[in-house]
């Protein structure tokens, strides 16, 4: 069995696309409409990155985790900027720091779970395509 290197496992294009999905969902849902779909956005992005990466489940999990970390930090920074614009004082910001850290941790776990789901969807799709390809072989 050949060991995959980190360079082979991490695929930046799916991570960037999935991060953009999370940021877009967060901006539209939370900032504009007031309804939070943040956790759903992380699950959707995790599924997307797990599906796009393909490979093995380890690749889906690692890329999902990286997506969760990057998108979690970006959305938390966006939330802090939004709260500061709304007039929240720095002392109150210090008291909610633990809550923000907990949100990032939960978002990472959700993105990892989405990466696993995306891998399983991709592997099932490939399996179904292989079955269809075998059934379409013409007989001589």
| pLDDT digits 0-9 by tens, 2-41 | 567 877 888 999 999 999 999 999 989 887 887 888 899 9
Q: For position 33, what pLDDT does the model report?
A: 80
pTM equals 0.83
Q: Dump pLDDT digits (tens) for 45-65.
A: 999 999 999 888 999 999 999
Distance CA 66, CA 49 (A): 10
pLDDT tens digits along 117-131: 999 999 888 776 666
How big is the CA angle at 52 (ends 45 and 73), to the nearest 5 degrees?
Answer: 35
Query: Residue holding tokens 């380890």?
Result: 58
Instruction: Give me 33's structure tokens.
Output: 């409409």
Tell the residue number behind the tokens 């891998």, with chain if given.
119
For tokens 């504009």, the residue is 32
Q: How far is CA 53 from CA 84, 90, 117, in A?
A: 37, 40, 12
């Amino acid at each position: 069995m050949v060991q995959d290197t980190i360079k082979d496992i991490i695929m930046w294009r799916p991570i960037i696309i999935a991060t953009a999905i999370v940021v877009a969902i967060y901006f539209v849902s939370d900032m504009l409409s007031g309804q939070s779909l943040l956790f759903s956005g992380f699950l959707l992005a995790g599924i997307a990155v797990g599906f796009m990466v393909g490979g093995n489940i380890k690749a889906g999990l690692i890329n999902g985790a990286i997506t969760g970390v990057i998108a979690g930090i970006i959305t938390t920074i966006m939330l802090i900027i939004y709260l500061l614009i709304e007039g929240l004082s720095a002392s109150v910001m210090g008291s909610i720091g633990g809550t923000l850290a907990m949100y990032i941790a939960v978002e990472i776990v959700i993105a990892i779970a989405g990466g696993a789901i995306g891998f399983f969807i991709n592997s099932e799709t490939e399996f179904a395509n292989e079955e269809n390809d075998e059934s379409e072989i013409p007989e001589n």
